Chain A
Protein backbone atom coordinates (compact mmCIF):
# COMPACT_ATOMS: atom_id res chain seq x y z
CA UNK A 1 0.00 0.00 0.00
CA UNK A 2 1.36 3.41 -1.01
CA UNK A 3 0.79 6.44 1.29
CA UNK A 4 -1.45 9.26 -0.03
CA UNK A 5 -2.57 12.79 1.06
CA UNK A 6 -0.50 15.94 1.98
CA UNK A 7 1.87 14.05 4.23
CA UNK A 8 2.55 11.55 1.51
CA UNK A 9 3.21 14.42 -1.00
CA UNK A 10 5.60 16.08 1.44
CA UNK A 11 7.27 12.75 2.03
CA UNK A 12 7.72 12.04 -1.68
CA UNK A 13 9.11 15.56 -2.29
CA UNK A 14 11.62 14.92 0.51
CA UNK A 15 12.54 11.67 -1.13
CA UNK A 16 13.15 13.43 -4.45
CA UNK A 17 15.46 15.98 -2.72
CA UNK A 18 17.40 13.15 -1.09
CA UNK A 19 17.64 11.47 -4.46
CA UNK A 20 19.24 14.62 -5.97
CA UNK A 21 21.66 14.82 -3.06
CA UNK A 22 22.68 11.21 -3.49
CA UNK A 23 23.27 11.76 -7.22
CA UNK A 24 25.42 14.78 -6.38
CA UNK A 25 27.33 12.75 -3.80
CA UNK A 26 27.89 10.05 -6.38
CA UNK A 27 29.40 12.65 -8.75
CA UNK A 28 31.79 14.01 -6.13
CA UNK A 29 34.59 11.51 -6.78
CA UNK A 30 34.40 12.31 -10.50
CA UNK A 31 34.58 16.05 -9.85
CA UNK A 32 37.40 15.69 -7.32
CA UNK A 33 39.15 13.20 -9.55
CA UNK A 34 39.35 15.82 -12.28
CA UNK A 35 40.47 18.60 -9.99
CA UNK A 36 42.77 16.47 -7.83
CA UNK A 37 45.52 15.57 -10.28
CA UNK A 38 46.03 19.08 -11.59
CA UNK A 39 46.15 20.39 -8.03
CA UNK A 40 48.60 17.66 -7.08
CA UNK A 41 50.68 18.47 -10.17
CA UNK A 42 50.90 22.09 -9.12
CA UNK A 43 51.94 21.07 -5.64
CA UNK A 44 54.45 18.60 -7.05
CA UNK A 45 55.97 21.26 -9.30
CA UNK A 46 56.30 23.62 -6.36
CA UNK A 47 57.88 20.84 -4.32
CA UNK A 48 60.32 19.95 -7.08
CA UNK A 49 61.25 23.58 -7.56
CA UNK A 50 61.86 23.92 -3.84
CA UNK A 51 64.02 20.81 -3.79
CA UNK A 52 66.14 21.85 -6.73
CA UNK A 53 67.37 25.01 -5.09
CA UNK A 54 71.07 24.40 -4.36
CA UNK A 55 70.81 24.76 -0.58
CA UNK A 56 67.87 22.41 -0.24
CA UNK A 57 69.43 19.82 -2.54
CA UNK A 58 72.71 19.96 -0.63
CA UNK A 59 70.99 19.76 2.75
CA UNK A 60 69.07 16.73 1.53
CA UNK A 61 72.27 15.10 0.33
CA UNK A 62 74.06 15.79 3.62
CA UNK A 63 71.16 14.43 5.61
CA UNK A 64 71.00 11.24 3.54
CA UNK A 65 74.77 10.92 3.64
CA UNK A 66 74.77 11.11 7.43
CA UNK A 67 72.37 8.17 7.56
CA UNK A 68 74.53 6.11 5.20
CA UNK A 69 77.62 7.03 7.23
CA UNK A 70 75.94 6.04 10.48
CA UNK A 71 74.99 2.67 9.03
CA UNK A 72 78.20 1.67 7.26
CA UNK A 73 81.12 3.79 8.40
CA UNK A 74 80.78 4.33 12.15
CA UNK A 75 82.23 0.90 12.91
CA UNK A 76 85.72 2.20 12.11
CA UNK A 77 85.42 5.97 11.79
CA UNK A 78 83.16 6.46 14.80
CA UNK A 79 79.86 8.24 15.28
CA UNK A 80 81.71 11.60 15.30
CA UNK A 81 83.81 10.63 12.25
CA UNK A 82 86.92 11.16 14.38
CA UNK A 83 88.42 7.75 13.61
CA UNK A 84 87.48 6.32 16.99
CA UNK A 85 84.93 3.67 15.99
CA UNK A 86 84.62 0.50 18.04
CA UNK A 87 86.69 -1.49 15.50
CA UNK A 88 89.44 1.13 15.26
CA UNK A 89 91.63 -0.76 17.75
CA UNK A 90 92.01 -3.61 15.23
CA UNK A 91 93.76 -1.50 12.65
CA UNK A 92 97.17 -0.04 12.08
CA UNK A 93 97.15 2.59 10.67
CA UNK A 94 94.09 3.70 12.61
CA UNK A 95 91.01 4.80 10.63
CA UNK A 96 91.17 8.41 9.48
CA UNK A 97 89.83 11.27 11.52
CA UNK A 98 87.48 12.55 8.84
CA UNK A 99 86.70 15.76 10.68
CA UNK A 100 90.29 16.83 10.13
CA UNK A 101 90.54 15.48 6.60
CA UNK A 102 92.34 17.68 4.05
CA UNK A 103 91.25 15.55 1.10
CA UNK A 104 88.90 16.97 -1.51
CA UNK A 105 85.55 15.51 -2.56
CA UNK A 106 87.00 13.65 -5.56
CA UNK A 107 89.56 11.90 -3.39
CA UNK A 108 86.92 10.95 -0.86
CA UNK A 109 84.67 9.57 -3.56
CA UNK A 110 87.56 7.54 -4.99
CA UNK A 111 88.60 5.96 -1.69
CA UNK A 112 85.00 5.20 -0.78
CA UNK A 113 84.30 3.64 -4.16
CA UNK A 114 87.57 1.71 -4.64
CA UNK A 115 88.79 1.14 -1.09
CA UNK A 116 92.08 2.01 0.58
CA UNK A 117 94.26 -0.62 -1.13
CA UNK A 118 93.44 0.71 -4.61
CA UNK A 119 94.99 4.09 -3.84
CA UNK A 120 97.82 3.06 -1.55
CA UNK A 121 96.02 3.66 1.72
CA UNK A 122 94.94 1.19 4.40
CA UNK A 123 93.96 -2.28 3.16
CA UNK A 124 91.27 -2.28 5.79
CA UNK A 125 89.24 0.46 4.13
CA UNK A 126 86.86 -1.69 2.02
CA UNK A 127 85.76 -0.77 -1.51
CA UNK A 128 82.16 0.34 -1.16
CA UNK A 129 81.46 0.69 -4.88
CA UNK A 130 79.42 -2.49 -5.06
CA UNK A 131 77.60 -1.98 -1.80
CA UNK A 132 76.60 1.66 -2.10
CA UNK A 133 75.01 3.18 -5.18
CA UNK A 134 76.28 6.38 -6.83
CA UNK A 135 73.83 8.58 -4.99
CA UNK A 136 74.73 7.09 -1.61
CA UNK A 137 78.43 7.65 -2.28
CA UNK A 138 77.82 11.25 -3.34
CA UNK A 139 75.68 11.78 -0.25
CA UNK A 140 78.38 10.43 2.06
CA UNK A 141 80.91 12.72 0.41
CA UNK A 142 78.52 15.66 0.92
CA UNK A 143 78.17 14.73 4.57
CA UNK A 144 81.92 14.29 5.08
CA UNK A 145 82.59 17.62 3.37
CA UNK A 146 80.05 19.30 5.64
CA UNK A 147 81.68 18.11 8.88
CA UNK A 148 85.27 19.10 8.12
CA UNK A 149 86.61 21.61 10.61
CA UNK A 150 88.74 24.19 8.85
Chain B
Protein backbone atom coordinates (compact mmCIF):
# COMPACT_ATOMS: atom_id res chain seq x y z
CA UNK B 1 0.00 0.00 0.00
CA UNK B 2 2.73 2.40 1.05
CA UNK B 3 4.90 1.36 -1.86
CA UNK B 4 2.11 1.93 -4.42
CA UNK B 5 1.43 5.36 -2.93
CA UNK B 6 5.11 6.29 -3.25
CA UNK B 7 5.16 5.07 -6.87
CA UNK B 8 2.04 7.07 -7.69
CA UNK B 9 3.43 10.26 -6.16
CA UNK B 10 6.71 9.68 -7.98
CA UNK B 11 4.89 9.15 -11.27
CA UNK B 12 2.83 12.32 -10.86
CA UNK B 13 5.90 14.35 -9.96
CA UNK B 14 7.83 13.12 -13.00
CA UNK B 15 4.88 13.89 -15.31
CA UNK B 16 4.72 17.40 -13.84
CA UNK B 17 8.46 17.90 -14.28
CA UNK B 18 8.35 16.67 -17.85
CA UNK B 19 5.48 18.96 -18.83
CA UNK B 20 7.16 21.99 -17.24
CA UNK B 21 10.41 21.17 -19.07
CA UNK B 22 8.61 20.73 -22.43
CA UNK B 23 9.49 23.45 -24.93
CA UNK B 24 6.74 25.78 -25.99
CA UNK B 25 5.71 26.88 -29.46
CA UNK B 26 4.40 30.28 -30.46
CA UNK B 27 3.11 31.34 -33.86
CA UNK B 28 3.78 34.84 -35.11
CA UNK B 29 1.94 35.79 -38.28
CA UNK B 30 3.14 38.29 -40.85
CA UNK B 31 0.09 40.16 -42.07
CA UNK B 32 -0.23 43.57 -43.74
CA UNK B 33 3.53 44.04 -43.52
CA UNK B 34 3.45 43.67 -39.75
CA UNK B 35 4.26 40.96 -37.24
CA UNK B 36 1.16 39.91 -35.32
CA UNK B 37 2.95 40.98 -32.12
CA UNK B 38 5.65 43.57 -31.58
CA UNK B 39 6.92 41.99 -28.34
CA UNK B 40 7.11 38.39 -27.23
CA UNK B 41 8.45 36.67 -24.15
CA UNK B 42 9.50 33.01 -24.40
CA UNK B 43 11.77 30.55 -22.60
CA UNK B 44 15.04 29.01 -23.71
CA UNK B 45 14.25 26.03 -25.92
CA UNK B 46 10.98 27.48 -27.18
CA UNK B 47 10.23 27.62 -30.88
CA UNK B 48 8.64 30.50 -32.75
CA UNK B 49 6.83 29.75 -35.99
CA UNK B 50 6.77 32.61 -38.48
CA UNK B 51 3.75 32.26 -40.76
CA UNK B 52 3.40 34.40 -43.86
CA UNK B 53 -0.24 35.48 -44.10
CA UNK B 54 0.46 38.17 -46.68
CA UNK B 55 -0.07 37.65 -50.42
CA UNK B 56 3.59 38.53 -51.00
CA UNK B 57 6.95 37.25 -49.77
CA UNK B 58 8.63 37.96 -46.45
CA UNK B 59 12.20 37.38 -45.29
CA UNK B 60 12.46 37.12 -41.53
CA UNK B 61 15.92 37.47 -40.02
CA UNK B 62 17.81 38.60 -36.92
CA UNK B 63 21.27 40.00 -36.40
CA UNK B 64 21.10 39.74 -32.61
CA UNK B 65 23.99 38.03 -30.83
CA UNK B 66 21.55 35.86 -28.89
CA UNK B 67 20.24 34.35 -32.12
CA UNK B 68 21.39 35.43 -35.56
CA UNK B 69 19.48 33.78 -38.40
CA UNK B 70 17.89 34.31 -41.77
CA UNK B 71 14.84 32.34 -42.85
CA UNK B 72 15.23 33.39 -46.47
CA UNK B 73 12.43 34.58 -48.70
CA UNK B 74 9.20 32.63 -48.45
CA UNK B 75 5.77 33.13 -50.01
CA UNK B 76 2.19 33.36 -48.77
CA UNK B 77 1.00 30.48 -46.62
CA UNK B 78 4.44 29.15 -45.73
CA UNK B 79 5.70 28.88 -42.17
CA UNK B 80 9.30 28.78 -40.99
CA UNK B 81 10.47 28.06 -37.46
CA UNK B 82 13.31 29.12 -35.22
CA UNK B 83 14.25 27.57 -31.87
CA UNK B 84 15.83 29.94 -29.38
CA UNK B 85 18.55 28.16 -27.44
CA UNK B 86 20.13 31.02 -25.47
CA UNK B 87 18.65 33.60 -23.10
CA UNK B 88 18.68 37.25 -24.11
CA UNK B 89 17.00 39.75 -26.39
CA UNK B 90 16.44 39.06 -30.06
CA UNK B 91 15.39 41.75 -32.51
CA UNK B 92 13.53 40.28 -35.48
CA UNK B 93 13.16 42.09 -38.82
CA UNK B 94 12.05 41.49 -42.38
CA UNK B 95 14.65 42.04 -45.10
CA UNK B 96 12.00 43.04 -47.62
CA UNK B 97 9.94 45.31 -45.37
CA UNK B 98 12.30 47.37 -43.23
CA UNK B 99 9.50 48.74 -41.04
CA UNK B 100 8.59 45.30 -39.65
CA UNK B 101 9.99 44.79 -36.15
CA UNK B 102 9.52 42.21 -33.41
CA UNK B 103 11.38 42.06 -30.12
CA UNK B 104 11.69 38.68 -28.41
CA UNK B 105 12.89 38.22 -24.86
CA UNK B 106 14.23 34.72 -24.29
CA UNK B 107 14.13 33.96 -20.56
CA UNK B 108 16.40 31.35 -18.93
Chain B residues in 8 Å Cβ range of A87: 61, 63, 70, 95
Chain B residues within an 8 Å CB radius of A89: 63, 68
Count contacts between A and B, CB distance < 8 Å. 40
User: How far is B30's CA from A51's CA once the two chains are assembled, in angstroms?
Assistant: 40
Interface membership of B108, Cβ < 8 A: no
* Nearest B-chain residue to A132, judged by Cβ: B96
Which of A71, A126, A131 has the most chain B CB atoms inside 10 A of its CB?
A126
Name A116's closest neighbour in chain B (CB-CB): B73
Q: Tell me which of A72, A76, A90, A127 contacts B73 (CB under 8 A).
A: A127
Q: Do A126 and B96 contact each other (CB < 8 Å), given the known contacts A87-B61, A87-B63, A90-B61? A: yes
Q: Does A130 contact B (CB under 8 A)?
A: yes
Contact with A along B3-16 (1 / 0, CB 8 A): 00000000000000
Distance between Cα atoms of A90 and B71 in the complex (Å) = 11
Contact between chains at A124 and B70 (CB < 8 Å): yes
Q: Point out which of A86, A89, A123, A130 has the most chain B C-beta atoms below 10 A from its C-beta.
A: A130
Q: Specify which chain A residues have a CB less than 8 angstroms from the CB of B59 in the assembled complex.
A: 126
Q: Which of A71, A87, A131 has the most CB of B within 10 A?
A: A87
Residues 70-95 (chain B) with a chain A CB within 8 angstroms: 70, 72-73, 95
Please report A residues at the B interface, Cβ cutoff 8 Å.
Answer: 71-72, 75-76, 86-87, 89-91, 115, 117, 123-124, 126-128, 130-131
